[in-house]
Amino acid sequence: MSARMHLSPAHHAHPRSPGEEQFAVAAELLALLGDRTRLTLLHALTTGEADVGTLTEVCGAARPAVSQHLARLRLAGLVGTRKEGRRVVYSLRHGHLHRLVEEALRVADHRLTETAAEAPPGEGELSFPRSAGTSSG
Contacts of 29 (CB under 8 A, 6+ apart): 76, 78, 100
**The pLDDT of residue 30 is above 50:** yes
β-strand partners of 27: none
| Model confidence band, residue 122 (pLDDT cutoffs 50, 70, 90) | low
- Measuring CA to CA, how many Å separate 52 from each of 29, 32, 113, 128? 22, 18, 33, 31
- Is the whole-model pTM more than 0.85? no
| Model confidence band, residue 5 (pLDDT cutoffs 50, 70, 90) | very low
Please, are residues 125 and 119 in contact by the beta-carbon 8 Å criterion?
A: yes
pLDDT of residue 85: 94
Average of per-residue pLDDT across 37-50:
97
| Model confidence band, residue 136 (pLDDT cutoffs 50, 70, 90) | very low
CB atoms within 10 A of CB 55: 21
Q: How far apart are CA 93 and CA 76, in angstroms?
A: 11
Residue type, 133: G
Q: Tell me the pairing of strands 50-51 and 79-84.
A: unpaired
